[in-house]
Structure 1
């Protein structure tokens, strides 16, 4: 059974391809929840949604949640392809760009648009995107031979 599971892991050495696979699979789950409930997306983008005052605008709608879910699913596909094609410079760069876009998006929603505040729901995506991007930048020469 264990050898069957292991056979589905990316064949390249090192932890980065496995990390990209794991992040990709988690993102698919995030996409599903974005289509099925507003609860988790509202925790990121409307931190007062647990008991909002009547005048508090709700930043998360069904449409915005599904759009976010679609965007997340697309990034998960790019990261999945990169996990299994880690030596391909184009896939590697595209995966890095997904982390740049995610990092920029979450930071701008926090610091520019003020639709979120710092806390656990925001910290996760910012830390994962930042750490993944830095890891990929440091490992470029190991995986991609120009």
Structure 2
């Protein structure tokens, strides 16, 4: 059984392709939850306490949560393709762009639009984007042969 599971892992050497696969799988789960509940998306985008009183404006609606879920699913597909085609410069760059756009989005929501605040719900996406961008930048020459 273990060998069957291992056969589904990206064939390229190193941990980066496996990381991209892991993040893709987690993102697909995040997309599903964005369609099924507002709870987790609201933890990221409401700068008020997690269960705000009714008079507190909420930034997350069912529509915005589904839109976020769709965007997250699309980025997970790009990262999934990059995990299995890590030597393809176009896929590699597209995956890097997904992390750059995610980073810019979350940072602008925090600093510019003030729809989020620093904490556990925001720290995860920021740390994944930062780690992935730096790692991919440093490993470009190892995986992509121009």
TM-score (normalizing by structure 2): 0.98
**Which whole-Å CA distance do the structure 1 matches of 2:91 and 2:80 have between them?**
9
Following the alignment from structure 2 to structure 1, what is the Cα–Cα distance between the partners of residues 47 and 57? 11
Q: Is the 8 A contact 1:38 1:60 kept in 2?
A: yes
Which residue is 2:132 aligned to?
132
Aligned-partner Cα distance in 1 for 2:132–2:51:
34
Q: CA deviation at 1:49?
A: 5.1
Deviation, 1:52, is: 1.5
For residue 54 of structure 1, report the CA deviation from its aligned partner: 3.8
Residue aligned with 2:51, SS: coil
What is the match of residue 87 of structure 1?
A: 87
Displacement of 1:130 in angstroms is 0.7
Q: Distance in 2 between matches of 1:43 and 1:15?
A: 30
Q: How does 1:14-33 map to 2 (within 5 A)?
A: 14-33=14-33
Matched, 1:117 2:117: yes
- In structure 2, the gaps of 5 or more residues are none
Note the C-alpha offset of 1:57.
Answer: 1.0
> Is this contact kept in 2: 1:42–1:49, CA < 8 A?
no
**Are the equivalent residues in 1 in contact too, given 2:110–2:118 (CA < 8 A)?**
yes
TM alignment of 1:45-56, pairs within 5 A: 45-48=45-48, 50-56=50-56
Aligned-pair CA distance for 1:56: 1.7
Return the alpha-carbon distance in structure 1 between the equivalents of residues 119 and 55 of structure 2. Answer: 22
RMSD over aligned Cα atoms: 0.9
Question: For residues 59-114 of structure 1, what are the alpha-carbon distances to aligned partners after superposition, in whole Å with 9 as ceiling and x for unaligned?
Answer: 00000000000000000000000000000000000000000000000000000000
Supply the distance in 2 between the matched residues of 1:33 and 1:24 (Cα, whole angstroms).
14
Structure 1 unaligned regions, length at least 5: none
Contact map agreement 1:35 1:65 (CA 8 A) in 2 = yes
- Matched residues in 2 for 1:46 and 1:114: separation? 9
TM-score of the two chains, using structure 1 as the length reference: 0.98
